[in-house]
């Protein structure tokens, strides 16, 4: 098998370095010590590349041995997904779209041959997260360690672990391609339609069945929950290779801790206007804003004087053309922050100050 371009380049460099050493020694008086030194240098250069490769391979294998036992396969009716063991009490965190409307599940762990049963604790579709709990805790159940999302950097090596296409305990490799992405899921095909901020983008392959699994760094920490792959309209809506997204580990911990302690999410940390709306189109049938259908009494929009029938066209400096663009704009804000909302009423444009509420 041919060496990779990077390996070929390094080997070429090693050969050139050897030639330079030979030329230098040929221009100097022959000396036994110099010959020994040159020989040692050549040996060190030849060994450098394989040693580095072995070190990286050993680190991969170490992380896989540590984390893979914490990644489980979840079966809900006829669908398969993945999950991550959250604690020793049998709580497992996964995606809301993996559990769907189900209450009971079959879970296969690394230490069990037969599936175990589990029960839904709570599902939070707004963040596409859910927690289920094993009815019986198997011996040797191992909880994963979650990392600090703030420390995730572009270029870090990542491993995605899960059960793509039902192939349990599968691992793919890539890097962190970007951080801080705001991504909206499709409400069709099993998605929740959620708009999720601060997603980690990775080149590690994310395939159906990977959802709810673990995106892991080389320190063996879960830095995200793989949720979806980007779709390419030019490929008929199929997954775009090398573009996957994971819910950041810090958000996973925030949501899971609330569900486990309180049975629900009481503090989403996400901004909201307190309205229900729908996308409207202009005379050319192009999306042109969000029509307010209902306003929740006492919430942000109500206090700002926004009423049903108003059409929101801008939040802050963001143009609003669809419900999705409104959700993405609010995803970058925090509850309690102040912004402006521009809307039209009876053909007249108005702008008001709004103190955002919480979703």
Which residues are catalytically annotated? 97, 128, 211
Distance in angstroms (rounded) separating the CA atoms of residues 325 and 146: 31
Residue pair 82/212 in contact by the 8 Å Cβ criterion: yes
Bridge partner list, 343 = 312, 350
Strand, coil or helix: what is 187?
Answer: coil
Which neighbouring-strand residues pair with 307?
none
C-alpha to C-alpha distance for 84 and 160, rounded to whole angstroms: 12
The sign of the dihedral angle between the CA atoms of 198, 204, 210, 214 is: negative
Determine the Cα–Cα distance for residues 130 and 122; give it in Å rounded to an integer: 6
- Give the other-Cβ count within 10 Å of 44's Cβ: 12
Q: Where are the beta strands (DSSP E) in 142-185?
A: 157-162, 170-184
The SS3 of residue 217 is coil
* Nearest to 166, CA basis, from 281, 247, 74: 74
List of residues 6+ apart from 279 with CB closer than 8 A: 287, 289, 290, 291, 321, 322, 323
Provide the token pair at 43: 């040996």
* Residue 218 structure tokens: 């080389």
The H or E element spanning position 122 is strand 116-124
CA distances from 221 to 51, 145, 170, 304, 319 (A): 25, 5, 17, 44, 38
Q: How many CB atoms lie within 10 A of CB 169?
A: 16
């Amino acid at each position: 098998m041919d060496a990779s371009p990077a390996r070929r380049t390094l080997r070429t460099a090693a050969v050139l370095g050897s030639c330079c050493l030979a030329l230098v020694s040929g221009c100097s008086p022959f000396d036994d010590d110099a010959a020994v030194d040159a020989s040692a240098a050549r040996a060190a250069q030849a060994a450098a590349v394989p040693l580095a490769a072995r070190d990286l391979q050993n680190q991969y294998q170490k992380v896989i041995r540590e984390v893979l036992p914490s990644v489980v396969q979840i079966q809900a009716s006829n669908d398969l997904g993945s999950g991550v063991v959250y604690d020793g009490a049998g709580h497992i965190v996964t995606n809301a779209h993996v559990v769907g409307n189900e209450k009971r599940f079959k879970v296969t762990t690394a230490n069990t041959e037969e599936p175990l049963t589990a029960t839904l604790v709570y599902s939070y579709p707004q963040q596409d997260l859910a927690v289920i709990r094993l009815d019986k805790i198997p011996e040797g159940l191992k909880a994963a360690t979650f990392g600090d999302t703030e420390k995730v950097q572009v270029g870090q090596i990542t491993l995605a672990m899960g059960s793509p296409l039902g192939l349990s305990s599968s691992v793919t490799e890539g890097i962190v391609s970007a951080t801080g992405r705001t991504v909206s899921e499709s409400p069709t095909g099993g998605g929740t339609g959620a708009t999720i901020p601060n997603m980690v983008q990775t080149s590690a392959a994310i395939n159906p069945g990977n959802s709810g699994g673990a995106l892991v760094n080389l320190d063996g920490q879960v830095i995200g929950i793989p949720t979806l792959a980007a779709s390419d309209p030019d490929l008929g809506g199929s997954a775009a290779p090398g573009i996957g997204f994971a819910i950041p580990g810090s958000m996973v911990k925030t949501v899971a801790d609330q569900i486990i302690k309180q049975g629900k999410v009481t503090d989403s940390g996400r901004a909201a206007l307190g309205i229900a709306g729908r996308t409207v189109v202009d005379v050319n049938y192009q999306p042109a804003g969000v029509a307010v259908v209902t306003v929740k009494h006492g919430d942000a929009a109500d206090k700002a004087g926004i009423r049903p029938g108003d059409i929101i066209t801008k939040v802050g400096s963001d143009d609003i053309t669809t419900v999705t663009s409104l959700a993405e704009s609010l995803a970058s804000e925090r509850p309690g922050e102040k912004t402006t909302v521009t809307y039209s009423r009876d053909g007249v444009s108005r702008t008001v100050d709004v103190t955002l509420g919480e979703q």
